[in-house]
Amino acid sequence: MKFLPVTLSLLEGFGISCIIFFFTLVFSLPLGLIISFGSMSRFAPLRWLTRTFVWVIRGTPLMLQLMVVYYGPGLIFGVAAFPKLTAVLIAFIINYAAYFSEIYRSGIEGVPRGQYEAGQVLGMTKSQIFFRVTLMQVIKRIVPPMANEIITLVKDTSLARVIAVMEIIMVAGTFTAKGLIWPLFYAGVFYLAFCGILTLLFNYVERKLSYFRV
C-alpha cells in the first residue's frame, strides 16, 4: 500500500492549492471593490474603461489569462517571466477581482435610493450613511453570490497546472501516470471537504444576517 506517501504528496499539492486560494481572496476582494467603484463612476471615460476591462476578463477563459501572464512577458517584451506561482496569483487576482467587482456593484446598486435619502434628511454625513445604513444591506445582498464565486475559486485553483504548478490534481496525475486511479478520487475528497467547510461557514454567515430583510 502506498496510502501514506500518496497522502503526503497530495497534502503538499493541496497546500499549493490553498496558497492560491487564500492569496487570491486576500487581494481580489479589496481590488474588486476598487474596480466596482470605477464601474459605477460618474466620470464616463473611467466607467467605460473599467467596464471594458471587466468584459475582457470575464469574457475570456482564466486558463488563457494564466498563459498570457506567464508566457507574455518573455515572448512579448523579452523580459524574464514571473515565477510560476506569482504568475498564477496575478492572473487569479485580476480575474476574480473582475467577478467580485460585479457582485459588489449589484449589491451597492441594489440598495434603494430611499435608504440614502432617509439618511440624508436625518442629517447624516455621507460616510455615516455608508457605514451605518447601507453597508450591512450590501453585505447581506452579496453574501450568497460571493459564496458561489468563492467555492468556484476553490476548484479553479486546479487550472494552475497548465503552467506546471504542482497543485493537488497535478500531483494526483503523477500517480495516475504510474497506473493508480484512486489518488484522483482521493484528491476529489480534499476539494469536497474544503468546499463543505466553506458551505457551512457561509450558511452560518447567512443565518447571522437573517435577522433583517432587504
Minimum distance from CB of 136 to another protein (Å)?
5
- C-alpha closest to that of 81 among 64, 66, 62, 96: 66
Closer by beta carbon to another protein, 12 or else 206: 206
Closer by beta carbon to another protein, 162 or else 205: 205
Minimum distance from CB of 122 to another protein (Å)?
4
Long-range contacts of 60-63 (CB under 8 A, 24+ apart): 62/91, 62/92, 62/95, 62/156, 62/159, 63/159, 63/162
Closer by beta carbon to another protein, 122 or else 193: 122
Q: How far apart are CA 91 and CA 72, in angstroms?
A: 12
**Maximum alpha-carbon separation in the chain:** 72
DSSP SS3 for 43 = coil
Minimum distance from CB of 166 to another protein (Å)?
45
Minimum distance from CB of 119 to another protein (Å)?
8
Closer by beta carbon to another protein, 58 or else 126: 126
- C-alpha closest to that of 93 among 28, 44, 158: 28
With contact defined as beta carbons under 8 Å apart, do 119 and 133 qualify? yes
Residues of the shown chain interacting with another protein in the complex, contacts defined by CB under 8 A: 112, 114-115, 117-126, 128, 132-133, 136-137, 140, 211-214
DSSP SS3 for 150 = helix
* Beta strands per DSSP E along the chain: none
Closer by beta carbon to another protein, 22 or else 204: 204
Minimum distance from CB of 63 to another protein (Å)?
41
